[in-house]
C-alpha cells in the first residue's frame, strides 16, 4: 500500500505523489537543448526526487552519471591530487545504467590524474568514445561550494562547454547541479586572506525557472489517488485548496500534513483535521524548521527584516538582489502587489511563535495574567468576548505608562502572547498576510470547529476607525462569517 512520504526520494510505486509530468517536460527540454543549469531551490523542495525521476525518463536516450558530494569529507577537497584521483571513480560509481563498457572507459582513464587539466582530458576521451551523449547530475552541491577546488572544477567544465560550442572539444551534453544556492551568484571565501568576493565559475548556466511548488491541481491529483485507495469521503478540491493556501505548495509541508492526517489523525481529511495537523507540525522538531531558525539567527539583517514584516506590518518592496538570502532559503517570496511576504502561513505562524518565545526569554512573560477566568465554557467553546475583555483589563493594569513606539512595536505581539496559551493545544490561529499593514492586523482563530476573526488596529482617530469597521466587514464576508471583533490599541496620554 502506498503512503505519503516527506523524507528522501519519493518513489512512484511506493508513495502518493503529485503529477510532475509538466515539470519534467520543461526540464528535459533544457537538457535536450544542451543547457547547463542549477536546480536551486530551498531545502526539502523536491530536488532529489526530481533528479530521480529525470534519470528514469532519460536513461534510455542518454548515458546518465549521477553523483553527490554529500558525505565525501574534507580531505577530498584539500589538494588537487586528492580531488583528481577520486572524482572519476565517483563518476564511474554514479553511472545509472548497466553499461559496463562505458564504466570501464572511465576506469581506464582514472590513472595517474593529478590536475584538473588531466581530468579535462579524461572527460574529453570518455565522452568522445561513448555511444550516447553523457549527462552529469551533481546533487547536494552546497556541501562542496565552500571549497575553491570545486569552483575550479566548475570553471573547467565551463571552459569545456564553451570550447564544445566552438567545435574545439568534447564534453558532457548537459550538466545539472542541485542545491539551495545558485552557484552563479555564490558568495565565496576563496582567497588565502579570507577576503569575501563573488566568483562566477558557472555563468554559462541558464536560469532555472521551473515552478517546483505544488499547485492546487497537482495536489488534487495526489489526493485523488489516495481517495481511490481509501474512500475517506474527503472534498478533494476543497482540501487541495486549503493545503495550497497554508503551504503555498511547499512540497515538504504538503506531504507532511497529508502524512499526519493519514497516519496520526485516522485518515480524517477535513479542514478541522488539517488545522490539527498544522498544530502538530508546528510543535515538533524537524530539520526544515531547524534550518529556518538557524538561518535567520545566522544573518542579523534577515532576522531584522522578518521582524519588521511580521511584527510591525512593514510593507517592503520586493527586490531579489537585496533580499536574496530570505528568498533563497524559501522564507520570503513576492506578493501579488510586488511586496515581500513570508512564503507560507505555516512559516509565518512558526516565526510568530518563535518571536513570542524569544521575547519571553529576554524580558520574562509578556503578560503576568494568571488565566483565572474560565475562557472555555462547558460545551467546549471559546468565549472570545471574555478573552478580549480580560486582555483589555490587563493592558490597562500593566501597560498604562508605555509610549507610542511601544504600542506600535509590541502591542500585537502582546496580544498573540496572551492568546496563544489560551488556545494552545486545542485551537489554531494565523495572521492573514494580505491584511497585515503597519496599523492593521487580522487574526483568524479556530477553536472547537468555530472560527473567530479579530482585527487589531492602532488608533489613528475616528476616521480610520470607521475604515477599520468597513475593512473588517469585508474580511468577514470573505471568511463567510457574520460576526467579528475590532480591537484598537490606543495610547492614552496622561495629563500632568
How far is CA 12 from its chain centroid? 23
Average pLDDT value for the chain? 88
Higher pLDDT, 299 or 404: 299
The tens digit of pLDDT for each residue in 367-402 reads: 555 554 578 888 889 999 999 998 888 777 766 665
Where does 364-476 show beta strands of DSSP type E? 427-431, 440-447, 450-458
Pairing mode, if any, of strands 427-431 and 440-447?
Answer: antiparallel
The tens digit of pLDDT for each residue in 295-318 reads: 999 999 999 999 999 887 788 999
When pLDDT is cut at 50, 70 and 90, the band that residue 366 belongs to is low
The tens digit of pLDDT for each residue in 58-106 reads: 999 999 999 988 878 888 888 888 899 899 999 999 999 877 889 999 9
Does residue 320 carry a pLDDT above 50?
Answer: yes
Percent share of the chain, pLDDT over 90: 61
The tens digit of pLDDT for each residue in 208-260 reads: 999 999 999 999 999 999 999 999 999 999 999 999 999 999 999 999 999 99
State the cell numbers at 423. 488556545
| DSSP label of 494 | P
**Smallest Cα–Cα separation from 119: which of 164, 71, 168, 86?**
86
**What number of CA atoms fall less than 13 Å from residue 250's CA on the CB side?**
24
**Smallest Cα–Cα separation from 149: which of 88, 95, 87, 198?**
87
State the cell numbers at 434. 494580505
∠ CA(230), CA(233), CA(236), 5° rounding? 95
Higher pLDDT, 96 or 27: 27
The tens digit of pLDDT for each residue in 413-447 reads: 888 888 888 887 788 998 887 666 655 678 899 99
- 8 Å CB contact between 313 and 439: yes
Amino acid at each position: 500500500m502506498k503512503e505519503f512520504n516527506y523524507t528522501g526520494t519519493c518513489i512512484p510505486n511506493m508513495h502518493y505523489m503529485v503529477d510532475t509530468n509538466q515539470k519534467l517536460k520543461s526540464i528535459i527540454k533544457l537538457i535536450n537543448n544542451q543547457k547547463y543549469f542549477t536546480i536551486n531551490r530551498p531545502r526539502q523542495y523536491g530536488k532529489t526526487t526530481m533528479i530521480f525521476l529525470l534519470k528514469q525518463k532519460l536513461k534510455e536516450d542518454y548515458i546518465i552519471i549521477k553523483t553527490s558530494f554529500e558525505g565525501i569529507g574534507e580531505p577530498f577537497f584539500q589538494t588537487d591530487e586528492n580531488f583528481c584521483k577520486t572524482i572519476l571513480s565517483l563518476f564511474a560509481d554514479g553511472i545509472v545504467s548497466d553499461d559496463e563498457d562505458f564504466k570501464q572507459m572511465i576506469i581506464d582513464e582514472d590513472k595517474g590524474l593529478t590536475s584538473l587539466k588531466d581530468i579535462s582530458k579524461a572527460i574529453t576521451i570518455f565522452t568522445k568514445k561513448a555511444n550516447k551523449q553523457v549527462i552529469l547530475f551533481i546533487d547536494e552541491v552546497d556541501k562542496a561550494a565552500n571549497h575553491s577546488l570545486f569552483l575550479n572544477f566548475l570553471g573547467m567544465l565551463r571552459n569545456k562547454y564553451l570550447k564544445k560550442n566552438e567545435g574545439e572539444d568534447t564534453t558532457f551534453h548537459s550538466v545539472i547541479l542541485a542545491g539551495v544556492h545558485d552557484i552563479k551568484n555564490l558568495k565565496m571565501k576563496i582567497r588565502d586572506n579570507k577576503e569575501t568576493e563573488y566568483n562566477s565559475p558557472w555563468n554559462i548556466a541558464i536560469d532555472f525557472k521551473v515552478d517546483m511548488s505544488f499547485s492546487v491541481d497537482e495536489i488534487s491529483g495526489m489526493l485523488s489517488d489516495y481517495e481511490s485507495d481509501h474512500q475517506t469521503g474527503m472534498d478533494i478540491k476543497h482540501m487541495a485548496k486549503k493545503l495550497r493556501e497554508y503551504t503555498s505548495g511547499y512540497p515538504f509541508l504538503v506531504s507532511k500534513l497529508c502524512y499526519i492526517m493519514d497516519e496520526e489523525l485516522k485518515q480524517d481529511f477535513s479542514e478541522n483535521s488539517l488545522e490539527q495537523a498544522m498544530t502538530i507540525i508546528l510543535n515538533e522538531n524537524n530539520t526544515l524548521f531547524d534550518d529556518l531558525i538557524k538561518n535567520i539567527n545566522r544573518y542579523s539583517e534577515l532576522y531584522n527584516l522578518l521582524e519588521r514584516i511580521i511584527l510591525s506590518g512593514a510593507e517592503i518592496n520586493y527586490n531579489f538582489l537585496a533580499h536574496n538570502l530570505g528568498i533563497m532559503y524559501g522564507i520570503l517570496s513576492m506578493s501579488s502587489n510586488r511586496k515581500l511576504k513570508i512564503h507560507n502561513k505555516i512559516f509565518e505562524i512558526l516565526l510568530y511563535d518563535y518571536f513570542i518565545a524569544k521575547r519571553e526569554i529576554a524580558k520574562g512573560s509578556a503578560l503576568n495574567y494568571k488565566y483565572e477566568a474560565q475562557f472555555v465554557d462547558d460545551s467546549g467553546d471559546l468565549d472570545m468576548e471574555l478573552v478580549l475583555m480580560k486582555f483589555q483589563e490587563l493592558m490597562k493594569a500593566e501597560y498604562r505608562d508605555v509610549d507610542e513606539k511601544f504600542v506600535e512595536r509590541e502591542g500585537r505581539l502582546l496580544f498573540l502572547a496572551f492568546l496563544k496559551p489560551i488556545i494552545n493545544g486545542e485551537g489554531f490561529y494565523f495572521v492573514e498576510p494580505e491584511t497585515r499593514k503597519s496599523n492593521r492586523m487580522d487574526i483568524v482563530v479556530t477553536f472547537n470547529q468555530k472560527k473567530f476573526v479579530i482585527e487589531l488596529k492602532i488608533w489613528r482617530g475616528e476616521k480610520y476607525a470607521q475604515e477599520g469597521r468597513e475593512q473588517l466587514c469585508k474580511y468577514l464576508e470573505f471568511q463567510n462569517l457574520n460576526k467579528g471583533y475590532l480591537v484598537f490599541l490606543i495610547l492614552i496620554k496622561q495629563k500632568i
